[in-house]
């Protein structure tokens, strides 16, 4: 998605530890117009999938999923909750997620009532790097016997294992901005866009 890549080139900041910060338009300050365009792009990519519901994860996935919902005819959005306390909730599907950025384990939770058997779920998130968050969301859908019809990430570090991992689990994954490399002097290189 050209406009998104231009924006990352303009505003993205690379920090030590392979961190890409785009918090002035995606995950602290939010450019809602760009989110709407991202939502339209996800619609273009997944419109044939008969999506019943969009599943994402707090907090940074919420604005993206909201914008996408509108394009998909206002399907419900469910956002998984992330907690560091392991408070086993009997009414929730749960999966552990290891955060490489923060080096901690999260418990990802979705209340059972919000995922149903055979429901067609589109999973959306902001970043795909190691794929831990997306794998946890897929696992939760599998527990619920919901059908994951696609996975989308706004930004993907394609040199990390996330994309391959999700594909190896048998799921379709689309990445809107494919980061090929980042250097310490702040250069960000993207892979050419697929059509």
Q: Residues in the site for a second copy, rule: CB under 8 A?
A: 23-24, 28-33, 35-36, 58-59, 62-63, 65-67, 69-70, 74, 76-79, 81, 84, 110-111, 113-114
Integer angstrom CA distances of residue 137 from 23, 27, 103, 133, 140 = 23, 19, 19, 6, 5
Q: How far is the CB of 190 from a second copy (least distance, A)?
A: 25
Q: How far is the CB of 21 from a second copy (least distance, A)?
A: 10
Q: Which is nearer to a second copy, 62 or 173 (CB)?
A: 62
Q: How far is the CB of 96 from a second copy (least distance, A)?
A: 19
Q: How far is the CB of 180 from a second copy (least distance, A)?
A: 28
Question: How many C-beta atoms surround the C-beta of residue 7 within 10 A?
Answer: 19
Token pair, residue 31, equals 């450019």
Q: Which is nearer to a second copy, 36 or 172 (CB)?
A: 36
Q: Which is nearer to a second copy, 68 or 151 (CB)?
A: 68
Q: Are 175 and 153 in contact (CB under 8 A)?
A: yes
Rounded CA-CA distance 23/11 in Å is 9
Rounded CA-CA distance 58/82 in Å is 7
Q: Is 112 exposed, middle or buried (0-12, 13-18, 19+ CB in 10 A)?
A: middle
Token pair, residue 108, equals 């990802």
Q: Which is nearer to a second copy, 144 or 158 (CB)?
A: 144
Q: Which is nearer to a second copy, 64 or 165 (CB)?
A: 64
Q: How far is the CB of 59 from a second copy (least distance, A)?
A: 4
Name the β-bridge partners of 55: 78, 123
């Amino acid at each position: 998605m050209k406009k998104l890549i231009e924006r990352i080139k303009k505003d993205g900041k690379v920090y030590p530890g392979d961190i890409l910060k785009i918090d002035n338009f995606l995950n602290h300050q939010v450019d809602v117009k760009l989110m709407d365009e991202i939502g339209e792009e996800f619609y273009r990519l997944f419109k044939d999938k008969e999506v019943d519901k969009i599943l994402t994860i707090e907090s940074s996935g919420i604005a993206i999923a909201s914008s996408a919902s509108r394009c998909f005819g206002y399907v419900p959005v469910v956002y998984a909750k992330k907690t560091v306390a392991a408070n086993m909730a009997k009414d929730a599907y749960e999966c552990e997620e290891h955060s490489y950025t923060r080096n901690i384990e999260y418990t990802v939770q979705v209340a059972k009532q919000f995922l149903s058997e055979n429901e067609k779920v589109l999973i959306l998130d902001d970043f795909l790097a190691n794929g831990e968050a997306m794998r946890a969301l897929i696992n939760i859908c599998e527990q619920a016997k919901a059908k994951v019809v696609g996975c989308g990430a706004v930004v993907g570090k394609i040199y990390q294992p996330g994309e391959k991992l999700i594909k190896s689990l048998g799921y379709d994954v689309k990445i809107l901005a494919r980061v090929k490399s980042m250097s310490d002097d702040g250069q960000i290189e993207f892979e050419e866009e697929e059509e």
